Amino acid sequence: MKRILFMLPLLLAATTLQAEEKTENWIQLFNGKDLTGWTPKIRYAELGDNVNNTFRVEDGLLKVRYDGYDKFNSTFGHLFYKDRFSHYKLRVEYRFVGEQMEDGAGWATRNSGLMLHGEDPETMAIDQDFPASIEVQLLGGLGSGKRTTANLCTPGTNVVMDGKLFTPHCTKSSSDTYHGDQWVTCEVEVRGDKLMRHFVNGEPVLEYTEPQLDQRDEHARELIKKNGGLLLKEGTISVQSESHPCDFRKIELLVLEE
């Protein structure tokens, strides 16, 4: 009897959480059928040119593939969603598969990313490698050793950590390492220019504040003039192609109240 009474609050809390999740209006950014709502921008190519069918939908999955390439040649790509967002939760399920392109950079092995608060693809130069954005870096394990995922990288940007401007390009999360081709769930809570939190399989792994453009970067300085300030209150969402095949089976978003 005592055990039943002890478990009752936990059961009630779980039931309440399930009920709340059912009433949340998650938007399916990826429809599981085609690339409706998404536009590719691949380095050295015009906006909208899906070079070598890099981004494709097969078997209900959004696949990033390189079987049409002879060489990768640092042609980093990004697939942009059509709308901009400010306050939201973004949730994706991803995995890494197969082998990396032979001439892909070593750091790009089992590497992809979610580019948040990004610039519009129309503002990218034709030879620009990455959009100015806050990157939630997705990494797969290498078969042994520790390699965290849902890390932070900052192309053309900075953030604030522990009350101080944080300028290193990448920093690790506290996540576990995920080897092989297992599916991993990454969720990001974004609160405009105030707060961003990373979660992996439901566990918090990284937190920072005040996402902003980097005044040291020439292109970012142009965007600062265009945006009318440093802080990033909103922006685009895109997923990467960086030379290693990967799959996404879910990309969904929940708009939050400001």
pLDDT greater than 90 at residue 20 = no
pLDDT greater than 80 at residue 22 = no
Question: Which has the higher per-residue pLDDT, 205 or 11?
Answer: 205
At 230 the pLDDT is 96
Task: Indicate the average pLDDT of the chain.
Answer: 93
Kindly report, residue by residue over 127-153, the tens digit of the pLDDT: 999 999 999 999 999 999 999 999 999
Kindly report, residue by residue over 78-127, the tens digit of the pLDDT: 999 999 999 999 999 999 999 999 999 999 999 999 999 999 999 999 99
Kindly report, residue by residue over 167-200, the tens digit of the pLDDT: 999 999 999 999 999 999 999 999 999 999 999 9
pLDDT greater than 80 at residue 11 = no
Residues 117 and 211: beta-carbon distance below 8 Å: yes
- Tell me which residue has tokens 């593939």: 65
pLDDT greater than 50 at residue 10 = no
What single string gives the DSSP state of each residue in 31-98?
A: -SSS-TTEEEEETTS-TT--GGG-EEEETTEEEE--TT-S--TT--EEEEESS-BSEEEEEEEEEE-S
In percent, how much of the chain has pLDDT > 90?
A: 90
Ordered domains of the chain (ranges, CATH): 25-255 (2.60.120.560)
